Amino acid sequence: MVLGYSPAEANKAVSAVYKEDMDIETIVKNALKGLARP
């Protein structure tokens, strides 16, 4: 699925929110919140 973010942007967003005990849904939600464009 493409949401308009480069792989580098997506990786940075996931790295910023990732914690070892998180499930994938929470990681994706939090990463997308961090990428939200005004």
- Domain span at residue 8? 1-38
Looking at every residue in the chain, the average pLDDT score rounds to 91
- Provide the number of structural domains found in the chain: 1
* Residue 16 dihedral angles phi and psi, to the nearest 5°: -70, -25
pTM reported for the whole predicted model:
0.78
- The stretch 32-36 carries a mean pLDDT of 92
For residue 34, the model assigns a pLDDT of 93
For residue 4, the model assigns a pLDDT of 87
For residue 38, the model assigns a pLDDT of 65
No. of H helices and E strands in the chain? Answer: 2, 0
